[in-house]
Amino acid sequence: MKAMLVFLGAFIFGICVFILIKNGVEKDMTPSNSGKETLKLFNVTTKSYEEIPKMHKSESKWKETLSSEQFHVTRQSGTERAFNNEYWDYKENGVYKCVTCGTDLFLSETKFDSKTGWPSFWQPVAPENIGYHEDNQFGMRRVEVHCARCDSHLGHIFEDGPPPTGKRFCINSASLKFEKTSVVPIKNTKFEKATFAGGCFWCMQPPFDQVKGVQQTWVGYTGGHQDNPTYEEVCDGTTGHTEAIEVVYDPSEVSYEELLEVFWQNIDPTTLNQQFADKGTQYRTGIFYHNEEQQRLAEESKSKLGQSGRYSKPLVTEITEASIFFRAEEYHQKYYQKAPQHYKNYKYGSGRASYLEKMWGDKVDFK
């Protein structure tokens, strides 16, 4: 009888701990100092991607290192005067870097005369070095461009640029500093995107981040009908979106088929509108293809897995065309680095880790 009471007590205690962990994680997602956020950014000098820490400073610290105009543009999203700035007609050969953190942003060979009076480029040195968000100021709907490392405002992107991209990155000179070089090699690697939904997006980022050939990942929301949803709105289940991950990868290093394997090995494809402890359409699993080849490979992989005998129930993971991917709030990005203990508690407490270990064994990293 005593042994039975001890067992029942331990069982009830375990349930209470899981509930507390789950609630605590969802209600208090402020990152701890135990995990430092890092980014993979392209370095023109070394011609390679490097892992560097995200830069955060107080406004007072930025004011100590920036001129008044630089501060106005980069930290207050200001705009300098056209035709009256340092680089609008500059023609030297070299690299344009972020004035606040030194990140490589644009190459001189992608610069062109847009007749606007601001420096204009048709592509950045690498897609990971810059970020975007919607700007609805002044009654206009534009897309703002910012430095991925320090979030400094750079300018805006427009769809009226020259070939081969058709893009015009209209950038403030005050947000740039130029470094002259004799030869600047352009990064010609053609990266591709893959988009997956596997329940809680915290748990989907680590397995893809460690794959060789994956350049960058973001977690966010897709597949719904609401623009720019917040985490709270998606959690309500009314936006139609599901938590998802966007993967930027180099197809010369890792194939889409290999990414599909990583995806299948980190989800339960037999549960509809649910992944482990999380229930609702916002936790449905899905593969969102970006072209016909991805669609073909996704359908083939699902069919093959369904016929493998690994699962006793049919696979319900949806395969649909990719739509707009809305990046989640910054505190969700690489949450496993920002709050490693919370992340670990949730992954094990939700039942995800034990299920994956049971289904896939040593093929999956459970850390």
Residues 6+ apart with CB under 8 A from 292: none
Shortest CA distance to 48 belongs to which of 263, 215, 258, 244?
215
Please report, as a single letter, which amino acid is at residue 172. N
- Return d(Cα 106, Cα 178) in angstroms, integer: 10
Element (H, E) at 65: helix 59-65
Element (H, E) at 256: helix 256-264
- Return d(Cα 178, Cα 98) in angstroms, integer: 9
- Any catalytic annotation for residue 235? no
- Using CA atoms, how far residue 258 sits from 80, 207, 212, 253, 261, in Å, is 46, 12, 11, 10, 5
Handedness of CA 328, 334, 340, 346 (dihedral sign): positive
User: Do 366 and 352 form a contact (C-beta atoms < 8 A)?
Assistant: no
What does DSSP say about strands 318-321 and 285-289: parallel, antiparallel, or unpaired?
parallel
- Tokens 């039942």 -> residue: 351
Please report, as a single letter, which amino acid is at residue 306. G
- Any catalytic annotation for residue 98? no
- Return d(Cα 158, Cα 55) in angstroms, integer: 27
- Return d(Cα 272, Cα 281) in angstroms, integer: 8
Active-site pick, 16, 170, 203, 235: 170
CB neighbours (10 Å) of residue 41? 22
Angle, in degrees to the nearest 10, between helices 2-27 and 340-349: 130
Active-site pick, 98, 147, 200, 203: 200
Coil, strand or helix at 179: strand
In terms of residues, how long is the chain?
367
Q: Which two tokens stand for residue 330?
A: 């910054």
* Largest interatomic CA distance in the chain: 86
The residues that are catalytic are 170, 200
